[in-house]
Amino acid sequence: MAQKPETRKFRHAVSVLKKQGLIPASIDARSAIPSKTVRGKSLSTLVRKYDDVLSGKQTALTVPPSKLKAYRKAGFSTTQNSKILVPHSATEKARLNRAGEVSIKSKAGIERVQIPVPYHRLSQYLKDIARDHKRIDAMKRKNEYFGFRFFGNNTNLYSDILSAIESISKYATILNTKSRAKQQEIYQNLEIVTVGNPAKWTFPGERRAKDKAEYRRKRLRKFRKNLKHKSLSKQEAYRADNAERQKAYREKLKRSPRKLKQYKDAGKKRAAKSKKKATNKNAQKRKTKNRRT
């Protein structure tokens, strides 16, 4: 008899938690039922408790017993079987790095270093990191760099953690913030990362320019989509105005041979891409037509 969708979903959840070691290996996920008791709690309770793990926003990692206490003091949640729950976004992955420390890696290859240093106040936190610099330097490879993300903005990159700490310590207005709540907010928005490819590490100005360009592209796409539903006279007026703007732009580019070459090269790439797309579309149409006949 086929399983109900709710049962399949529940048993899949049990299987995922079992793989992460949050449910004993002795539990058979294929026949699991919500009322089954594990360590004094029902499976349904455990599935609800570890909802973030199931959604990919947390990962359960086993750390050495000697480090478990330090991670607990640093604010990480722990489980009965000596695991820590590492929060991260759904597009990131948490793991133990080669130094045996927890790190969170994004698709761009940028790793957030999780330093198990108890937080009291900002200046003390940075001093504790500096005191433990040898262990923290071992968290990155020789061709990687340390950097800070501060409220989403990227700092410069540094070859060692002491240089990074020295740089961030210069922000006297940050470190001398007297309000405990404000210091806590700053701490929560201060990330230490390792970067392998500096080209993927954008700075605030570059990010703003990139976001602005992306916003303009989206707006233009939306405008052109809506233009199709306008009258023919309005469509023709837009095309005429656009042709004039393009002509004026090309005339302006002639003053700079380098920019003109870049413009032409970009045009050739777009044309080649469009041609390839059209060829694939026609091939797909022929394939579909041959199937029908």
Give the model confidence (pLDDT) of 133-155 as tens digits: 888 888 888 888 888 887 777 77
Q: Taking 60 as the threshold, does the pLDDT of residue 99 lie above it? A: yes
pTM for this predicted structure: 0.54
Q: Taking 80 as the threshold, does the pLDDT of residue 109 lie above it? A: no
Q: Are 192 and 141 in contact (CB under 8 A)?
A: no
Q: Are 145 and 151 in contact (CB under 8 A)?
A: no
CB atoms closer than 10 angstroms to residue 116: 20
Q: Taking 60 as the threshold, does the pLDDT of residue 205 lie above it? A: no
Task: Work out the percent of the chain whose per-residue pLDDT is above 90.
Answer: 0
- For the chain, give the longest Cα–Cα distance: 78
Q: Are 162 and 83 in contact (CB under 8 A)?
A: no
Q: Taking 60 as the threshold, does the pLDDT of residue 278 lie above it? A: yes
Over residues 195-216, mean pLDDT: 68
Q: Taking 60 as the threshold, does the pLDDT of residue 1 lie above it? A: no
Query: What confidence category does residue 115 fall into, taking pLDDT thresholds of 50, 70 and 90?
Result: confident
Type and span of the H or E element at 46: helix 43-49
Q: Taking 70 as the threshold, does the pLDDT of residue 172 lie above it? A: no
Q: Which two tokens stand for residue 148?
A: 């800070």
